[in-house]
């Protein structure tokens, strides 16, 4: 199955090209991308076409640090529901967790990792095996992440460290000026680190209910774009049928037009089982619902297909080591 890229996300490059007096339309068309797709929030583009577009842009743009300027054209809609969930995140840490979790909504050929380090909260870019090989891809991702963080936190935010896994370009001052900190080039990894006190500061723009509403949209959308994968197909069917009551392997297999044995065999090839996927989907959805204080535990149990709240509580404690109430209290 071909990997895809959220079409509106390429709007940043289009707008940047216009700003430097380069007509973007011929480049997009030559890369096999219909410019009309940039305005379609349901459109996705093959990764191969996106890479072809970037290769062409790199040839015609004279500034090797052009990705730094592109962040100024970022808009939440370029990331779909993820962009709006980001704006409503109550802290940078919670927002970055969303970005890491749902990054494939924007591009399936991109991975991010989040970890706590002595220097602070580290966001690492993982392009291992990716088709995207230009240095500007590293610059763009870290610049956009920094731009998004400043958008929510304030322009005064400065990263504690920034590393880029490519040689230092002649225009490196533009990069260091943007991040307002020393940048390490030729690093083993591309990442930026934000002080924990900044990452965990409550933001006045945070709105938990709006963020969680978009989380639910993102969960469903992420499953939809991975329909070709048997694991994702099973997860999608489980997600759709949870409120209807008991979700069984027979029900899911029937919707896939497979026998139960065939479905289990194909899942085994992916080193997983129906029971594991059912529990993982239930746990994921349960956490989203529990984070919203408006949702009652009895309602959550029903939405997850449990006949009794006590059964839901036992299952949740088995998944997380905490009861639903303990988990909700730990979020405060």
Looking at residue 9, what is its pLDDT?
95
Phi-psi region of 186 (alpha: psi -120 to 50; beta: other; left: phi over 0): left
161 and 307 housed in the same domain: no
The residues of the chain scoring below 70 in pLDDT are: 1, 223, 225-228, 243-245, 332
Question: Can you tell me the distance from the alpha carbon of 6 to that of 3, in angstroms, rounded to the nearest whole number?
Answer: 10
Looking at residue 238, what is its pLDDT?
84
Tell me the CATH number at 290.
Answer: 1.10.10.60
Looking at residue 288, what is its pLDDT?
79
244 and 109 housed in the same domain: no
Q: Is residue 206 part of a domain?
A: no
8 A C-beta contact, residue 212 and residue 88: no
141 and 285 housed in the same domain: no
Alpha carbon 282 to chain centroid distance?
A: 20
167 and 233 housed in the same domain: no
151 and 58 housed in the same domain: yes
109 and 59 housed in the same domain: yes
Range of the domain at 243: 227-330
Q: Is residue 216 part of a domain?
A: no
78 and 189 housed in the same domain: yes
Residue 265: exposed, middle, or buried by beta-carbon count in 10 A (0-12, 13-18, 19+)? exposed
Looking at residue 245, what is its pLDDT?
67
Q: Is residue 65 part of a domain?
A: yes
Q: Is residue 322 part of a domain?
A: yes
185 and 263 housed in the same domain: no
Looking at residue 119, what is its pLDDT?
92
Token representation of residue 253: 């297999």
Q: Where would I find the H helices in 124-273? A: 135-153, 172-179, 196-199, 208-224, 230-241, 249-255, 260-269
- In this structure, are strands 161-163 and 190-194 parallel, antiparallel, or unpaired? antiparallel
Q: Which residues are within 8 A (CB) of 280 and not within 5 positions of it... i.e. 6 or more apart?
A: 235
Q: Is residue 71 part of a domain?
A: yes
Q: Is residue 222 part of a domain?
A: no
Question: Can you tell me the distance from the alpha carbon of 307 to that of 242, in angstroms, rounded to the nearest whole number?
Answer: 11
Tell me the CATH number at 73.
Answer: 3.90.1520
Looking at residue 233, what is its pLDDT?
79
12 and 145 housed in the same domain: yes
Q: Is residue 45 part of a domain?
A: yes
Looking at residue 304, what is its pLDDT?
83
* Structural domain count of the chain: 2
* pTM (two decimals): 0.72
305 and 194 housed in the same domain: no
Q: Which residues are within 8 A (CB) of 178 and not within 5 positions of it... i.e. 6 or more apart?
A: 68, 71, 143, 146
Answer with the one of 162, 184, 199 that is the final residue of a domain: 199
269 and 232 housed in the same domain: yes
Q: Is residue 300 part of a domain?
A: yes
Q: What percent of the chain has pLDDT over 90?
A: 59
Answer with the one of 181, 199, 217 that is the final residue of a domain: 199
DSSP 41-96: TT-EEEHHHHHHHHHHHHHH-S-TTHHHHHGGG--GGGGTHHHHHHHT-SSHHHHH
8 A C-beta contact, residue 116 and residue 46: no
8 A C-beta contact, residue 31 and residue 49: yes
Token representation of residue 318: 């088995």
Question: Can you tell me the distance from the alpha carbon of 27 to that of 30, in angstroms, rounded to the nearest whole number?
Answer: 5
129 and 12 housed in the same domain: yes
Token representation of residue 161: 């460290």
Question: Can you tell me the distance from the alpha carbon of 308 to that of 238, in angstroms, rounded to the nearest whole number?
Answer: 19
8 A C-beta contact, residue 99 and residue 86: yes
Answer with the one of 150, 183, 199 that is the final residue of a domain: 199
Token representation of residue 151: 């958008």
Looking at residue 69, what is its pLDDT?
95
């Amino acid at each position: 199955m071909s990997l895809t890229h959220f079409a509106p996300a390429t709007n940043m490059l289009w707008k940047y090209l216009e700003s430097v007096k380069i007509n973007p339309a011929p480049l997009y068309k030559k890369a096999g991308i219909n410019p009309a797709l940039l305005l379609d929030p349901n459109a996705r583009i093959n990764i191969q076409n996106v890479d072809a577009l970037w290769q062409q842009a790199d040839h015609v743009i004279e500034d090797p640090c052009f990705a730094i300027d592109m962040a100024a054209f970022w808009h939440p809609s370029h990331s779909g529901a993820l962009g709006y969930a980001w704006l409503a995140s109550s802290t940078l840490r919670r927002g970055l967790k969303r970005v890491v979790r749902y990054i494939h909504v924007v591009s399936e050929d991109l991975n991010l990792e989040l970890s706590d380090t002595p220097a602070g909260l580290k966001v690492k870019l993982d392009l291992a095996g990716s088709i995207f090989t230009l240095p500007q891809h590293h610059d763009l991702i870290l610049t956009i992440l920094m731009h998004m963080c400043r958008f929510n936190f304030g322009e005064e935010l400065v990263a504690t460290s920034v590393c880029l896994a490519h040689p230092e370009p002649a225009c490196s001052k533009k990069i260091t000026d943007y991040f307002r900190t020393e940048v390490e080039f030729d690093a083993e990894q591309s990442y930026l680190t934000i002080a924990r006190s900044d990452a965990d500061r409550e933001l006045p723009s945070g709105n938990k209910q709006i963020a969680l509403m978009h989380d639910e949209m993102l969960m469903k959308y992420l499953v939809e774009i991975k329909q070709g994968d048997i694991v994702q197909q099973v997860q999608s069917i489980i997600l759709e049928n949870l409120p209807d009551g008991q979700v069984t392997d027979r029900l899911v297999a029937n919707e896939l037009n497979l026998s139960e044995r065939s479905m289990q065999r194909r899942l085994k090839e992916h080193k997983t089982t129906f029971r594991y996927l059912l529990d993982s989907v239930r746990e994921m959805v349960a956490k989203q619902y529990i984070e919203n204080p408006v949702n009652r535990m009895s309602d959550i149990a029903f939405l997850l297909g449990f006949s009794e709240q006590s059964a839901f509580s036992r299952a949740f404690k088995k998944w997380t080591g905490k009861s639903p109430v303990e988990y909700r209290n730990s979020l405060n």
